[in-house]
Structure 1
């Protein structure tokens, strides 16, 4: 039973939850991260601006980069214009090298493209490629000095993308490093470096060498900070620490790597916090022969092996993590380690059925046995971080003095005056009437509206703030009509007030009416209860919010609330561990959804189908496999988080932030639905792969009919995508197949594409879009991937097939239905554009199921 299981002492004391840890880390390295044109003199410790000195240009003043470096003096700026520079550059002085239009330095498969040999160099805006290979480990960028800044570069087709050797005090930020043979970034004997906000993906080798190792690899390196990087699709590990200690690994995404997301081997005293290890082929997190590491606030789900795997490892401290939806065990340990801190353990998805919580404190009543040995988690979490799952303090229940507020004849005519007089635990009863005040409740009191014959008491803020603001914990507010708050906007990032603004914890807000406010109710804190409130006729209904993605709030309970006739009904922004039951939203422009997303927070929200949008059910599925949602399900919106093999079909999904939302979901089907008047119709957000989007009608969605972000290898076919801002939106997504769709009458673009490569887009109709394609930093294929046999005007032809484009001006001299002149698509071309819409062609091919395609 709870409290009877001992725990190992935490090495170095407890660590805060990962999100808060990350915020502290960001503040700690802020000076390094916010000054890209500054470097530090290692001898004096003072910052030296790289903007002083002379400015030289390549090829204006010098034909080559090395020639300019040789002529420069310390502190000079060398500006390199776009082009290909076939040389091996060695920077031997404290200089700033700045690329314009992403100049390419091509090492010609011999040595490193650029070596930083002097301290205090700034290197930004280059494309580095084609280093040599072998035991010397050349790289796109090799660093053999200190206090350098490496910013906004692209590194490909090298042995290592970036290498740091015996190097300290460097900042490596905002780089895109992919398709390198061994590692995206490699650190050896290097200390006190910051690796932040980079993308290390698909470092899987080149040519005949396919032995790629890791996105990030540290060997014998210490006191480095690895923060907020995306590390995906690497052949062995997302990150490996080998014989490395005292490093901070925080708030990174390790996804879809072919081995382990985060691996420590013979590495001690590291902090691993706030990371996401998702859908890796082996384990999410693995420790081997490693000791005294702290693993806290991480999210490991959807891995084909274990969520976390410890072998031959001792005295590690693992708590406040979320392990669920992994193919084998959620946790395995054959050593002796601490799996809770004496108060808080971890959440295990495979312990849901065995976890009882009779006292409702968020801790399972029984210990969880860790597979592989004799370790126990004495305080396993029912679902969430304990700080977001138990009210603190409890709301007031009365027992103190009672004060009366009314227009005349009572003790007080002003609610604020009564609050100033009251003591904690007192009851303040406010009679019918209109009170033109902005109330700030700074004490734990009961504030109760009483209908004395004139209806609910009205608090009118006259657009001077929030009618009621809760600044103290443990307050009860009930029975008020709150109206006319100030503020504008309904989405995160805009300034808002609310009818009731909750900035404190453990409060109960029940039986209130909020109209004509920016938001009816905003909860920007944790562990509150909202019961039977009506937030209708505002710009926004109810918002569960936090300051931002680094400061997750949650643990709130919403039961029986109504949010009708607003712009948005109930919105969740960076908030987790909430419970929603029996809430109703109707008549809103968007009824329900997320504005501000973190999958580790969203996965902890408990939102069941008792919640309704326009009378239809919300399906909010977390780690669910093999489910079907169809017309009999009466779905209004569908969310799938960490799911597999889900079918959503034959449903009408409208007027929400997303009609269908998938994250970290695979092998699922969205087919035959009508999806209209949402912000995004069908949304695949982060690591969704091998899904099929087929035969849907997505019409008049504010942003996009189909929206893919960070999602690869999906098929989008036979859909009607019309009258939205963009028919299809692709961001950081690759390997998707988009074919046989009707993409027309979209207000901004048929397709908007940002940072997305290697997608195949063919045999679609692009008709009467404001722009057919808007493409940025992307390279895609705009015809079929193989020669197809098709019929056109009664004749049979063999050819690659492109797309039909409104206003295409080419000619078809040979009558095969394909224009002779390519159609320009951004920096790409459709070399086989169709002369007629695709319904004028029939294709017989295995790729199309062996049947003719007639629309």
Structure 2
């Protein structure tokens, strides 16, 4: 009886847990683009408003007034007024269509829905219109556009709601309009300007769209004080130049502010945080100014890709993976920014002739990658501070000595030879001491703890790295494409990898202590190295070798691995003991079951 009850109880408990969690499963976040939802209709307005058929006015305002559709006289002081109507377009055409009008008129407090899905169909459509005011209308649940202006200038669109459409508010070849205080959510594009110039977009809320505010081939517009959260892209520009984007909030999007092939734009004073990828990104253009923004908690705070001659100044870029990143981007000024608590404060990847000064980077610092010509072309000054101390970036120097690194917060040598870097204590950086294309240097007696990389060599040969302490890093001592170096007498403990060779050959690793790491010494695609006389205790894996040939291992204590024969074997301390105990455990269980049967 008991044995039958137990499975039933498990089934009942499982079913109960499933039912309890089912609301969480079914209420996943989605954009709900263009979906009809009558909950967005203003029920209060529905009760008090008149019900109307669709309205089409083609500069025949007098007839419309005679028919009782409008009031007013079309003057600035007494505009024509269409107000308090509810229009169901029945799935075709536009709710209100105004064409070829230059008189003053106002459409106010109307509810328009279920317009057609053909090009041009909208809750409110205006073609070749000036001097209109669209105020406090609800143009939601239309199949194509909520509000659509085509070849229409000097109009005001204010306080409207345009949700659950393909595009909430759409301007095409329309100039000098004001779009303010509107809500455009749950559309494919919230507010969209196409070939439209000199417009002001201010104080709008554009959330849960694929694109919050989108400008295509649109110049000299002002995008001011809008909130564009929970979109695929908060604010996005394509082929749009000389726009001012300031004081906006673009949080929790895939991309915050995203510019493509757009130049001479001014991006200032925005708050762009918690976006999945980039806070501010510029792709393939030039002469943009990015200044005074707050870009925190993104993957990249500010990201320039194939973009030259930009200015990045006075921004705060904290708690990102990379605060400010240049990827194949040249002739950019990066000055006066604060980039704290990122994995890297500033990163230059194959980016040339950039000017880096007066930036503050706590717990991060600078990371550079590229060929020699690229790295020596950049000007990086000691006015940059890492953890309150000086960033030293030396290029093409020889015989640097102890006095060359006073109060160092980070040291980077590029094409520097016959120099000595000694007795420094550098912590909480991306790379404490890094050498690029630098040969015959002596790196000794330094403490490089709690960094991403303690000591980093790239394309650097015949260096001596000795007597350093590099602990609690991701990589204690790391060699990348670096050959004929001597790594001796160092302590590299409590790292993910104590000493790591990557595509590095003919190095000598001897007399080091690499203990309590995930891997004590790690060789990857690295040949003809000598690994001898090291103390390797308490590592999860003492030596790891992958895709290597002809490495020599000797006198590394209890770590008896290898002849470097390329078989990619490894000895893991405690590995055999684990299986011995497991086997013993199985034997005990089997013996106990056998005795129970007897």
- Relative distance call for 1:757 and 1:726 in structure 2 (3 A) is same
Match of 1:847 in 2: none
1:593 corresponds to which of 351, 367, 373: 367
Stretches (4+) displaced over 6 A: 401-408
Deviation at 1:632, TM superposition (A): 6.1
Aligned length: 366
Tell me the TM-score normalized by structure 1: 0.40
Determine if contact 2:227/2:249 at 8 Å carries over to the other structure: yes
- Relative distance call for 1:536 and 1:470 in structure 2 (3 A) is farther
2:480 counterpart of 1:709 = yes
- Relative distance call for 1:403 and 1:697 in structure 2 (3 A) is farther
Deviation at 1:484, TM superposition (A): 3.8
- Relative distance call for 1:403 and 1:573 in structure 2 (3 A) is farther
Deviation at 1:580, TM superposition (A): 0.6
Greater Rg over alpha carbons, structure? 2
Match of 1:760 in 2: 530
- Relative distance call for 1:622 and 1:770 in structure 2 (3 A) is same
Alignment partner of 2:514: what SS? strand
- Relative distance call for 1:402 and 1:621 in structure 2 (3 A) is farther
Q: In structure 1, what is the Cα distance between the partners aligned to 2:514 and 2:484?
A: 20
Match of 2:242 in 1: 445
1:458 corresponds to which of 245, 248, 264: 248
Determine if contact 1:526/1:556 at 8 Å carries over to the other structure: yes
Higher strand share: 1
Match of 2:558 in 1: 805
Match of 1:230 in 2: none
2:178 counterpart of 1:411 = yes
Determine if contact 1:630/1:648 at 8 Å carries over to the other structure: no
- Relative distance call for 1:483 and 1:458 in structure 2 (3 A) is farther
Alignment of 1:468-617 (within 5 A): 468-485=258-275, 487=276, 496-524=277-305, 525-545=307-327, 552-586=328-362, 588=363, 590-594=364-368, 596-617=369-390
Q: In structure 1, what is the Cα distance between the partners aligned to 2:289 and 2:525?
A: 46
Alignment of 1:92-171 (within 5 A): none
Alignment partner of 2:470: what SS? strand
Q: In structure 2, what is the Cα distance between the partners aligned to 1:470 and 1:695?
A: 49
- Relative distance call for 1:405 and 1:505 in structure 2 (3 A) is farther
Q: In structure 2, what is the Cα distance between the partners aligned to 1:571 and 1:404?
A: 44
2:227 counterpart of 1:434 = yes
What do residues 67-101 of structure 1 show as CA deviations (whole Å, max 9, x unaligned)? Answer: xxxxxxxxxxxxxxxxxxxxxxxxxxxxxxxxxxx
Match of 2:113 in 1: none
- Relative distance call for 1:737 and 1:826 in structure 2 (3 A) is closer
Q: In structure 1, what is the Cα distance between the partners aligned to 2:178 and 2:565?
A: 75
Q: In structure 2, what is the Cα distance between the partners aligned to 1:531 and 1:779?
A: 51
- Relative distance call for 1:612 and 1:743 in structure 2 (3 A) is same
Alignment of 1:648-727 (within 5 A): 648-686=421-459, 688-702=460-474, 704-727=475-498
Match of 2:553 in 1: 782
Match of 1:625 in 2: 398
Determine if contact 1:500/1:522 at 8 Å carries over to the other structure: yes
Tell me the TM-score normalized by structure 2: 0.56
Superposition CA RMSD, Å: 3.1
Q: In structure 2, what is the Cα distance between the partners aligned to 1:520 and 1:405?
A: 33
Determine if contact 2:486/2:508 at 8 Å carries over to the other structure: yes
Q: In structure 1, what is the Cα distance between the partners aligned to 2:501 and 2:344?
A: 25
Deviation at 1:571, TM superposition (A): 1.8
- Relative distance call for 1:420 and 1:566 in structure 2 (3 A) is farther
- Relative distance call for 1:514 and 1:754 in structure 2 (3 A) is closer
Q: In structure 2, what is the Cα distance between the partners aligned to 1:564 and 1:647?
A: 29
1:640 corresponds to which of 394, 413, 420: 413
Determine if contact 1:403/1:429 at 8 Å carries over to the other structure: no
Match of 2:574 in 1: none
- Relative distance call for 1:484 and 1:418 in structure 2 (3 A) is farther
Deviation at 1:825, TM superposition (A): 4.8
Q: In structure 2, what is the Cα distance between the partners aligned to 1:535 and 1:445?
A: 24
Deviation at 1:514, TM superposition (A): 1.4
Q: In structure 1, what is the Cα distance between the partners aligned to 2:156 and 2:420?
A: 57
What do residues 132-164 of structure 1 show as CA deviations (whole Å, max 9, x unaligned)? Answer: xxxxxxxxxxxxxxxxxxxxxxxxxxxxxxxxx
Deviation at 1:631, TM superposition (A): 9.3
- Relative distance call for 1:804 and 1:689 in structure 2 (3 A) is same
Determine if contact 1:474/1:505 at 8 Å carries over to the other structure: yes
Q: In structure 1, what is the Cα distance between the partners aligned to 2:416 and 2:503?
A: 21
- Relative distance call for 1:558 and 1:407 in structure 2 (3 A) is farther
- Relative distance call for 1:483 and 1:422 in structure 2 (3 A) is farther
Deviation at 1:460, TM superposition (A): 2.3
- Relative distance call for 1:407 and 1:439 in structure 2 (3 A) is farther
Determine if contact 2:224/2:248 at 8 Å carries over to the other structure: no
1:827 corresponds to which of 565, 568, 571: 565
- Relative distance call for 1:448 and 1:498 in structure 2 (3 A) is closer
Determine if contact 2:392/2:405 at 8 Å carries over to the other structure: no
Q: In structure 2, what is the Cα distance between the partners aligned to 1:652 and 1:402?
A: 63
Q: In structure 2, what is the Cα distance between the partners aligned to 1:406 and 1:579?
A: 43
Determine if contact 1:439/1:466 at 8 Å carries over to the other structure: yes
Match of 1:80 in 2: none
- Relative distance call for 1:510 and 1:764 in structure 2 (3 A) is same
Higher helix share: 2
Deviation at 1:533, TM superposition (A): 1.0
Deviation at 1:826, TM superposition (A): 4.8
Deviation at 1:507, TM superposition (A): 0.9
Please list every run of 5 or more consecutive structure 1 residues that lacks an aligned counterpart in the other structure: 1-400, 450-456, 488-495, 546-551, 784-801, 809-822, 830-855
Determine if contact 1:553/1:574 at 8 Å carries over to the other structure: yes
Determine if contact 2:251/2:271 at 8 Å carries over to the other structure: no
Q: In structure 2, what is the Cα distance between the partners aligned to 1:622 and 1:742?
A: 32
Alignment partner of 1:758: what SS? coil
Q: In structure 1, what is the Cα distance between the partners aligned to 2:510 and 2:530?
A: 8
Q: In structure 2, what is the Cα distance between the partners aligned to 1:663 and 1:421?
A: 49
Q: In structure 2, what is the Cα distance between the partners aligned to 1:763 and 1:736?
A: 14
Match of 2:509 in 1: 738
2:257 corresponds to which of 458, 461, 467: 467
Deviation at 1:581, TM superposition (A): 0.7
- Relative distance call for 1:682 and 1:406 in structure 2 (3 A) is farther
Deviation at 1:465, TM superposition (A): 3.1
Alignment partner of 1:602: what SS? helix
Determine if contact 1:572/1:593 at 8 Å carries over to the other structure: yes
Alignment of 1:190-269 (within 5 A): none
Q: In structure 1, what is the Cα distance between the partners aligned to 2:430 and 2:424?
A: 16
1:422 corresponds to which of 159, 184, 197: 197
What do residues 808-847 of structure 1 show as CA deviations (whole Å, max 9, x unaligned)? Answer: 6xxxxxxxxxxxxxx6455399xxxxxxxxxxxxxxxxxx
- Relative distance call for 1:805 and 1:447 in structure 2 (3 A) is same
